[in-house]
Amino acid sequence: MRVRIADGIAWFKEDPPADEFEPALTELLAGKRRDDLPELIAWEGPRMLTRDVGPRLREVHDAGEARPSWEEILPLSAELQIEFMEVADRSLTLGTPDDRPELLPNRYVALGGDRIDAVRAAAERLANSIPLTVAHMEGHDGNIFVRDGRPVFIDWAEAVVTDPFVGPVQTLRGATERLGYTPGSPEVERLRDLYLEPFGPFAPMTELRELFADGYLLHGISRAELWRRTLARSRPRRVRSTDSRSGRGWRSCASWSTAQLP
C-alpha cells in the first residue's frame, strides 16, 4: 500500500503468516548493505513501512535506459550473498526458512521425485562447499528497483537460508529473457560467469560452474517447498486458485530440472 508521509512516499506491507519474518530480516540485511536494500522506517511483527525506492528496474529498462545493466546486477547480487553469509545463522533465528542443501533431498522425495540419487549427490556437493547465506530467490526485474541509479533489492518475503547457488536462478533467467539470449548460449554463460566471479576466493571457476549447476538443480525443489509452506499456513479463505497453480508450477519445475539429468 502506497502512503504519503511528511517527507515523501512510503510503502506499507503486512506479510502473511508464512512470510512474517520479512520485516526483521529486512532490518538485519539493511544493516549490512544499506545502499542495496529498502530503508525501513518502522516495523512491528509482520507489518513494515519502507521508504519509496524509485522505479522498478523493468520500468527503467522499458524506458530505454541501459543502466543499471544486468552485467552490473548479477555480480552485485553475488556480493550481497557473500556479505550475508555472516548473518545466515541469525537469519534462521528470525524465522527465515531453512533450505540447507542437505534438507532438500527428502523434500524432493515428498514431492514424488524419482531422481533422488542425483539430487542427493548435488546436495552433498553443495553442503561441503561454500558457506550458507540468505538467498533472495526472486531477484527479477519486478523486485529490483532503482534508487539514485543503483539497484535496490526489495521483497525478501521468499528469502531462505541456503547455498548461494540455489538462489540466483530467477535473476539469471530474467536477464536472459530481457536481453533476448538463448538459454545455454555463450551469452548466458558469460552472464553466469559474471555472477560467479565474486566467489573466486572460495573455489576455481571450473569448480564454481559445477556447483552452480548443482544449485540450479535444487532451486525448483526449494521453490516447491516454499509453496507447500505458504499454503499450509494460509487461512483457507485466503488461498486463491492462482496460489495453488503456482505451487503446482514449482513442483513441475522441480520435476523438469531433474528430468534434464543424464
The pLDDT tens digits for 43-59 are 999 999 999 999 999 99
Q: What is the largest CA-CA distance in the chain?
A: 59
Q: What pLDDT shows up at residue 241?
A: 47
Domain ranges in the chain are 2-259
Q: Are 1 and 11 in contact (CB under 8 A)?
A: yes
- Average pLDDT of the chain, as a whole number: 91
In the chain, what percentage of residues exceed pLDDT 90?
Answer: 80
pLDDT above 80 (res 238)? no
Is residue 89 exposed (0-12), middle (13-18) or buried (19+ Cβ within 10 Å)?
exposed
User: Which superfamily is assigned to 2-259 in CATH?
Assistant: Aminoglycoside phosphotransferase (APH), C-terminal lobe (3.90.1200.10)
Question: Are the C-beta atoms of 142 and 171 separated by less than 8 Å?
Answer: no
Q: Which of 178-187, 202-211, 238-247, 248-257 has the lowest mean pLDDT?
A: 238-247
- pTM, 2 dp: 0.89
Q: How far apart, in whole angstroms, are the C-alpha atoms of residue 162 and residue 223?
A: 12
CA 261 distance to own-chain centroid: 23
Cβ atoms < 10 Å from Cβ of 106: 14
